[in-house]
Structure 1
Amino acid sequence: MAVVGSNGSAPFDESTVAVEQGESVTVDISFNNSDRMTLAIGPKEAVNYRAAVTAEDITDDGTATVTFDTGSLAVDPVDDAIEPGDGTRLTNRSQSRLDDTLDPGEYTIGAFVDGDVIDTATVVITADDADGSATLAIAEGNPDADRDIDGPVPDPDPDLSIGSSEYATFDGYPSTERGETAPVAMHFNDTDQATLNISHFDESGFEANVTVEDENDNGNATVVFDTAALGVGSVDDAIEAGDGTTVTNRSQVELEQSLQPGEYLLMVTVDGEATDSSYLSIQERSAESDSSNESEAGDKNETEVASESNDNGDSAGDGLPGFGVSTALVGIALFGVGFALRASTGRD
C-alpha cells in the first residue's frame, strides 16, 4: 500500500499522512481477489472513539473510494462523516459519538479483507492550517500484506457505547431470501426505546421507519420485516414486533413491486442520535425454496380436492361412504401429478 499526501509517497506501514483538523482523508482502494474491504479508524492512544465502514465496488472496475471528514466524525450523522466515492457502495457505517470534533493527534486506519487486517496507516490530525486534506491509496494483494502489523489496530466492529450511556446496537447482520421474513435483533443500554430505519440507495428510493420499544425491560428487542410486504403491502404486515417488543409509528415508502435482492442499510437511533448501523441482505430465492413452496402448494391442492369430493357424498361398490370410484380416481391422478412435480423439481 502507498500513501499519497502532503508529505509524499511511501509504503503504507512506513509513513504517516497529515491532515488539517476539519479536512478530509480520502482512501482509494484497489481490489484484487475480492470486491469488499472494511476500513476502521481510531486514535492510537485514547479509546474514546471508533468508526468503521465496509466499502464495495459496485461497478466491477476493481476500485472503491471512501472519504472520512474529520470535521464531521464523532459529531455529525455517520452518513455525512463517512461518504462513498463514484462506483462505491458503503454499508455498516458506524461510529461512536462525542461532544466535540476529533482532537488533534495520531489516528490509525486499518484495512480488513474477510476479517483479516491487511495493512494500517497513521493519520495525523493537526491543529494548524498547513497540511490541508490527504489521500491514502490501498492495494489489496500488496507484497507486504502478509507481514505482521505493529502497533494498535482499530476494531472493525467498534463499540458504539463509547461516548454515551444510552444506545442501541444490532445483533449481527440479518439475511433472508426474497419474499421471506427477516428478524432484526437489537440490544438496548440505559434506554427502552429506539427508532429503526431501513433504506436502500437505488432508484426505488425505498425507506421505512419504526419506533421500537423493549416491552419487558430485558434489554432486547426484535423487529420482523416481511420482505414480501415491504414497500407494497400494509405497513402493519410489513413491519411486526417480535417477542417482548412493541412497535409504533410504522411508515414506509410505497413501491410498484416488492423489494429486489440486495443489501439494505439498517440504522438505529436513540434520541435522534445514530448509535449503530448494520445491513439486511435480501438474497434471490433459491431453487430449493421454490421447489418446497411448489410441493406445499401441490399437497394443499390434493387435500382440498379430496375434501371437496368427500363433501359431495359420492359412494360406490366399495362400500366406503363419501369415497366413490370417481373420488378415488381423482385422488390417484392428483397423487401422480404431485409425484411428477416433486420428481421434476428434484432433478433441478
Structure 2
Amino acid sequence: MINKKITLKELAGILKVSVSTVSKALNDSYEISEATKKKVKTAAIKYNYSPNLLAQGLKTKKTKILGVVIPDMRAPFSIRVLRGIEKEASAQGYNILTCFSDESLSKEKAILDMLSQGNVDGILMSLSKESQVEQYFDHVNTLISNGIPVTLFDRVDERIQCDKVIINDFDSTYDATKLLLKSGARNILFISPISTTTIGKNRYRGYAFALEERGNLKEKVLHIEEYRDFSDDLTRILKADKIDAIIAANELTGISAINIATRLGFKIPEQISIIGFTNGILSMNSNPPLTTISQHGKDIGKVATQKLINRLENKNLDFTTTVIETTLIKRGTTRN
C-alpha cells in the first residue's frame, strides 16, 4: 500500500499522458473518453492522489470552501443545521470551515474579518445575540458590499440585504399556545433565554397573541439572563403561581423545566404540560419525552447551502427569504 501522496504531474508521468488529460479526466470533462476517465481515476486511488485545493484556489480564485458562523456550539439546533450544511456542501463539491461566535459581537466581527481574507467563497451565518442586542450589522453589510455572498439562517435581520432561511417563529409558538389552551391550560408560562434575539421576540409575540385572542388570560413570562439562576427562579414561580403549562423557547430550557417541575412533585403532563423547540436527541430521551416544535434544522442547513451556492454561480439573482415549515411533535409532556 502506498501512503505518500503524489502530485498531478507525477500521476500523469505514471500513466504516460499529459497533465491536462489527467486533470480533465478527474473533472469528468466531455473531452475525455470514459475508458480514459476510468483508468485515470483508478490510478488516482491506487497511487493516493488527491487535488491540491490551495493550488486550485490560486488558479481559479475559488477555494470551494464555505464559511459557517454559528452563535452557540452547544445548541442541539445548531448541530442539526450544521449537519444539513455539511451534507449539502459535500454533495456539491464544497468543504466547510465552521466558526463559533459564542454570542459575541466582537468575536463575530473578528471571524468575518478572517473569513473575508480569501479563505472562503461565501458565508452561511446566524447572527450572534450581542449583534442583535446592539443592532449592529455593519460588519455583515460591509462583507456583502465587498462581493462576498452571505446567506443568513435562523437569526436574521431585515437591514441586511441577502438571502435568508427562517422558520415562522410567531406562528409556531402561536399554534403551540393554542394547543395548550385547547387542552384546558389557562396559566401558561413562557420561558426564554433568547429574549433579545429576533427569534426570541417572535416566539414571545406568538404566545402573547394567542393569550390575547383567548381573552382574560394574563401573560406569565420568565426571561433567563443566567442559567445558574434559572432553577431558583422557576421554582419560585411554580410554588407561587398555579402554572398548568409551559412553553420553552428552546430545547435545553424545556428539558430543564421538566426536571425542575418533577423534582418539586408536579406530575407531567397531568398537572403541567410542557412544549419546547428543536426535535433533538435530548427531547426524545427526556423523562417524559418532550413535546417539541421541530424546526427541521437539517432542512434549514440544506436550503441555506443551496441558496449560497446558487448565489456563487449567479450573483445577479434576486435576494429571497425561504420559510421552512415547522412540525409540532407530540410526546409525553402534553395531554391529548
For this structure pair, what is the TM-score category when the shorter chain's length is used for normalisation?
under 0.3
Larger Rg: 1
Task: For CA contacts below 8 A with separation 6 or more, give which structure has more relative contact order.
Answer: 2
The TM-score with structure 1 as length reference comes to: 0.22
The TM-score with structure 2 as length reference comes to: 0.22
More helix by share: 2
More strand by share: 1
